Structure 1
Amino acid sequence: MGEAFIGSEALASGALTRHELARFHDRLLPDVYRARGKPLSLRERTAAAWLWSRRRAVIAGAAAAALHGSQWVDGDEPVELIWNNGRSPAGLIVRNEALDDDEVTRVSGLPVTTVARTAYDLGRHLPRDRAIPRLDALSRAICFSREDVLLIAKRHLNARGLRRLREALPLVDRGAASPKETWLRLLLIDAGIPVPTTQIPVQNTWGLIAMLDMGWEEFMVAAEYDGDLHRTDRGRYAWDRKRARLVAGMGWKVVSVIKEDNPADVIARVRAALTSRGWRARD
């Protein structure tokens, strides 16, 4: 058996003996097993969690976001379920919460919170600096309406975390191509720098030469987060250098950011670039 399955059901049907179950299969969760020796993906862990609930729970949170196509969800992320159960094994988060019928859909045969309900849960349950990267990634995968999310909030007026959700939603930007880009955008906004536009196209007479991570077109200033790929892939590095020269030749001033940079220095460099182009901070 390649997929996760309920052990007691396999025994009852005669598909396996107790000896075969114990010798050739790993126990993932109470009474949930899978063939031994294969790496376990988040999708498989999610299916196993649902089976553990005896097919009664609805998948929610980051696991639901991943099923909807969201990137940047680690394979060892706890699987969240909405279900009335007081005890949950390690690796699962079970929440006994109100859930309307139209807040549930099916993805790959599994019951999952809708995109809007998933966004609602992420925005309520996670702290701001974790929620917004998750919401950015979900929105990038499958665009959701903030109004639809707020409509769900109106249905559940006594739910916890609604203030946190309402504060996070205006900051969601589907143009963020990675959690680090979200981090950089929030860093600058929190420092009082105007909200940047994301994914800015730069073109010359031959066509598109770059999509800048974020920036302020009025001042032709941009900020870009350079990930490790820029250093480990020599071809990518060479193209990025050429790209930087082309963008500069079009009049853009680009502030490049790497993970080792001090946040205060990043803010100062962006402020200086904007100020040099005529921006003035409000008192």
Structure 2
Amino acid sequence: MEQPFLGTEALAAGTVTRRGLASRFEPVYRDVYLARDAEMTAAKRAVAAWLWSGRKATLTGLSASAVYGTRWIDPAAPAELYRRNGKPATGILVHRDELDADETRLFTGLPVTTPARTAFDLGRRPGRDEAVIQVDALSQATRLCAADIAPLLERHPGARGLVQLRKVLDLMDEGAESPQETRTRLVLIDAGLPKPQTQIVVRGNFGARRSARIDMGYSQFKVGVEYEGVQHWTDPRVRANDIDRYAELAAQGWIIIRVSADMLRHRPHVIVARTCEALRVRGAEWPVIARKSEDRVA
């Protein structure tokens, strides 16, 4: 069984014996099991928590986001439910706020908060960067936009975290395809640069493909910024593709700023300085460029 199930129901149906239940399956929550060789995911943990609730709770927060197909959610993170009563359980966050009828829905047979309500909750949690990362990821999975969330701020004017949520809505972007891309974008914005365009499509001779996508950048100046995960440095096929890809982009006049994990974590000022210098070369005259382009580029 690849999905969580209730042990009592499986025993009653005869699909598993008590010995088999003990030897082949791991308990996730009380009476909820998953096969020992099955990979735990955030979505499976959400299903397990819903079963634990007696199929009566509504999935919310990261659990709802996981059900919608959001990636990058830690499978070990607690599941999240809206539940009016009942005792808490280890590994499950129980929220007891009131939900309006139009803030919930059925999705793949599971009761979940709507994408807008899910983002409303995630975007108010402490830590602006993490909130933007989570809302970006949900937006990427569901094509949610800030205008979908905004009415909930008027509906719930006394909710905690609205000041941060307004900032998150200004910063969110469905084009972010990883947490690192979101963090890179925030580095540029926090430095005073305009919000970059994401997933810029460039047509050209890119081998088997007729186009390439740049993570983010300023297309009017042909300056792009790319976050490169470890596979770009260690996988020979990815590296070979990158060489050809960047050659074609350069031939079309693009300057690409390549960002590594080390740079993003320890030297974000280098990302800003290199981007500003490229923009200066291309004729951009934003005030921040005059200040930042003089920084030493290490």
Distance in 2 separating the partners of 1:6 and 1:222: 50
Count of residue pairs brought into register by the alignment: 282
Q: How far did 1:184 drift?
A: 0.4
Distance in 2 separating the partners of 1:205 and 1:54: 56
**Structure 1 residues 39 and 196: CA distance shift in structure 2, 3 A:** closer
Q: More displaced, 137-146 or 92-101?
A: 137-146
* Alignment partner, residue 251 of structure 2: 249
What is the percentage of aligned positions where both structures have the same residue? 43
Q: How far did 1:188 drift?
A: 0.5
Give the AA of the match of 2:247.
R
Once the two structures are superposed, the pairs formed by residues 217-232 of structure 1 within 5 Å of their partners are 217-232=219-234
Q: More displaced, 78-87 or 59-68?
A: 78-87
Are the counterparts in 2 of residues 136 and 173 from structure 1 also a CA contact under 8 Å? yes
**Structure 1 residues 145 and 28: CA distance shift in structure 2, 3 A:** same
Are the counterparts in 2 of residues 58 and 83 from structure 1 also a CA contact under 8 Å? yes
Are the counterparts in 1 of residues 60 and 81 from structure 2 also a CA contact under 8 Å? yes
* Alignment partner, residue 43 of structure 1: 43
Once the two structures are superposed, the pairs formed by residues 1-283 of structure 1 within 5 Å of their partners are 3-7=3-7, 13=12, 15=14, 22=22, 25-85=25-85, 87-204=87-204, 208-261=210-263, 262-282=267-287
Local SS of the residue matching 2:244: helix
Q: How far did 1:2 drift?
A: 6.1
Q: How far did 1:130 drift?
A: 0.8
Q: More displaced, 151-160 or 97-106?
A: 151-160
**Structure 1 residues 84 and 254: CA distance shift in structure 2, 3 A:** same
Are the counterparts in 2 of residues 189 and 195 from structure 1 also a CA contact under 8 Å? yes
**Structure 1 residues 145 and 263: CA distance shift in structure 2, 3 A:** closer
Distance in 1 separating the partners of 2:232 and 2:276: 25
Distance in 1 separating the partners of 2:192 and 2:164: 20
What TM-score does the superposition give when structure 1 sets the normalisation length? 0.89
Distance in 1 separating the partners of 2:257 and 2:17: 63
Q: How far did 1:168 drift?
A: 0.3
**CA shift digits 1:114-160 (9 cap, x unpaired):** 11111111111252111111111211111124233121222222221
Are the counterparts in 2 of residues 209 and 243 from structure 1 also a CA contact under 8 Å? no
Aligned CA-pair RMSD: 2.4
Are the counterparts in 1 of residues 140 and 174 from structure 2 also a CA contact under 8 Å? yes
Local SS of the residue matching 1:111: strand
What TM-score does the superposition give when structure 2 sets the normalisation length? 0.85
Give the AA of the match of 2:282.
R
Local SS of the residue matching 2:261: coil
Distance in 2 separating the partners of 1:166 and 1:115: 17
Give the AA of the match of 2:248.
L
Give the AA of the match of 1:217.
S
**Structure 1 residues 210 and 35: CA distance shift in structure 2, 3 A:** closer
Are the counterparts in 2 of residues 83 and 94 from structure 1 also a CA contact under 8 Å? yes
**CA shift digits 1:200-253 (9 cap, x unpaired):** 122247884421111112222111111111122211111111111111111111
Distance in 1 separating the partners of 2:236 and 2:37: 36
Give the AA of the match of 1:152.
L
**Structure 1 residues 213 and 4: CA distance shift in structure 2, 3 A:** closer
Q: More displaced, 220-229 or 28-37?
A: 28-37
